[in-house]
Structure 1
C-alpha cells in the first residue's frame, strides 16, 4: 500500500527506475565529494586568514570563484558542477520520496527533515548555476550581498519584518540543532556504520562532530544577524557565510575563533568524503 504523502505510482515509476540505476547512486555519492571540495576551499581560505597567511573569508560561491581561477580551473569546476547537480537531485529525491522511511507514516520530524532536504537541493542548484556562469566567463560578485539582497526584498513585503525575523529565529534553531546533532553523533545513523573499520568509525565521529559543530556556529551567527536585520528593518545587517566568518574574526580572540571554525569546515570536508563512501543511499521502491 502506497503512502498518502507520496506522488501517485505513474509519477513515481520513472523515479524508481532512475534511482535503481547504479549511475544514480554514483552521481549522488560524487555529489558528496563535490560538496566536500567546496567546504574545503572555504575552510582553507578562512584558515589562511586566521593564520595571517592571506586568504579571505568567503562563502560557497566565493569558493567556486577561487577554484575557477586555478590552473585547469574551468575543467575542475565543470566536474564539481556535475557533482553538485547529482547532490541536488539526491536531496530532491529525499525530500519528495523519503527513501529511508517510505513505508512508514511520516512524523513531524520527518517532514522537517524533508523540508531541509528540499532547501539543500535548491541551494545546490543555485550553486551549480553560479558555477556554470563562472565556467562561461560571467563575472560574479560574492561576499554575502545576495543575502542582503534577498533580505531587502522580503523586508519590502507585507509582514516582511516578521518573515525575516522568523527566518532568523529558524536559522538560529537550525544552527543550535546542528551543534546538538554533532554532540550526540546522530550523523552516524545516516552511514553504513557496520561496514566501517574501528579506526574509520573513530575518525569519522571526530571529524563529523568538529565539522558539523562549526557549521552550526556559523548558522547561528547568520541567524542572529538576520533577526537583527528584521528588528531594525535594515537589510545591510544580514550576513552570509563569508560575512559571518568575518564577524567571528573581529571578536576578542577572533583569530582563534575563526581558526576553530575554519579547520572545522576542513574537517567537514573530510566527513563529506566519508559520506561519499558510506552514506546510505536507498532507491525509491
Structure 2
C-alpha cells in the first residue's frame, strides 16, 4: 500500500465521518423543532437511511468509508503520521486515535450489517451500557470505569477549548475564500462534540460511583438529556447544529487536510534494521 493510496483512504474516511455527524446532527435538529427527528446514536442515524431511496447502497458506501477511517486512525497511532511526538500529550493523542480506529471499525461493521438487512437489537446507548456492565464486572471495575469517564471528560474539555480558542485549521491547507466560513464551522463543531463527550464521561463516572451500568449513556441519551433541560429544545437545537457543523468540517478535512502519510518503504527498512540488531540465540 503506497502513500497516495493511504491518502485516498484517509480522505474517504473523513468524508464518511462527516456523513455520520451530519445525519446525527440533522435528525437531532428535527427532534428539537418537533419535526419528526430523533436524538439517537450513530447507529440509529445510519438506520434511518434504510427508509431513503438507495439507502442500503449509501450504507454500504459509508461502511467502506468508516472502515477506511478506522484504518487511517490506526496508521496514525502506529506511525505518528501527524508528528505528535512521544511526550505524554503526544502519546495520549495517539492512543486516542487508536481508540477512534476501533470505534469506527465497529460502526463500519454495524453499517455493513444494516446494508445487508441485519438489524441490530440495540443501538449505541444499549451497547454503552453493555460494555460498562462488562467493565464494572472486572477487578477494580469501578475504578476503571471511573477512569474512562474522566478521560472522556478530559477529551470533551479539550474539544471545548479547541472550539473556543484552538487552531482548528492546524492540519488544513485552506484556500483564502474558505477560511472565512470554515473556521467558525469548525469551532462550533468542536464545541458541540466536546459538550457531548463531557456529558457521556460524566454519566460514566456516575455509573462507576453507583456501580450501576444503567447510568451509562451513549450519544443518543446524552442528546435526550440535553433536551430534558429547561429550554431544552433550544439547547438541543444548538448542539444539533454543532454536530452537523462538525460533519461539514469533516468534509472540509476530507478535501483540505494535510495528509502526512508515512513512507512505508522507510518503515519496512527500519524494521529490518531493528530486527538485524537483535542478539542471535
Q: Same fold (TM over 0.5)?
A: yes
Is 1:180 the counterpart of 2:146? The answer is no
Q: Contact (CA 8 Å) 1:19, 1:284: kept in 2 or not?
A: no
SS at match of 1:186: coil
Q: Which residue of 2 aligns with 1:58?
A: 40
CA 217–135 in structure 1, closer or farther in 2 if over 3 Å, else same: same
> Where does 1:1-285 land on structure 2 (aligned, <5 Å)?
18-20=1-3, 22-101=4-83, 106-140=86-120, 141-193=122-174, 196-197=175-176, 199-285=177-263
For residues 107 and 136 of structure 1, what CA distance do their matches in structure 2 show? Answer: 44
For residues 155 and 242 of structure 1, what CA distance do their matches in structure 2 show? Answer: 22
Q: Which residue of 1 aligns with 2:273?
A: none
Q: Which residue of 1 aligns with 2:277?
A: none
For residues 247 and 233 of structure 1, what CA distance do their matches in structure 2 show? Answer: 20
Q: Contact (CA 8 Å) 2:11, 2:255: kept in 1 or not?
A: yes
SS at match of 2:52: coil
Q: Contact (CA 8 Å) 1:143, 1:243: kept in 2 or not?
A: no
Deviation at 1:158, TM superposition (A): 1.3
Deviation at 1:25, TM superposition (A): 1.4
For residues 112 and 193 of structure 2, what CA distance do their matches in structure 1 show? Answer: 26
Total equivalences in the alignment: 262
1:23-77 per-position Cα deviation (integer Å, ceiling 9, x unaligned): 3212210111111111011011100111111111011111111123321111111
Deviation at 1:19, TM superposition (A): 4.0
Q: Contact (CA 8 Å) 1:185, 1:208: kept in 2 or not?
A: no
SS at match of 1:71: coil
- C-alpha RMSD of the superposition: 1.3
SS at match of 1:101: coil
Query: Could you tell me the TM-score, scaled by structure 2's length?
Result: 0.90
The unaligned stretches of length 5 or more in structure 1 are: 1-17
For residues 30 and 184 of structure 1, what CA distance do their matches in structure 2 show? Answer: 28
Deviation at 1:136, TM superposition (A): 1.6
1:185-211 per-position Cα deviation (integer Å, ceiling 9, x unaligned): 322111124xx11x3112111000001
Query: Could you tell me the TM-score, scaled by structure 1's length?
Result: 0.89
The unaligned stretches of length 5 or more in structure 2 are: 264-281
Deviation at 1:92, TM superposition (A): 0.8
For residues 72 and 252 of structure 1, what CA distance do their matches in structure 2 show? Answer: 39
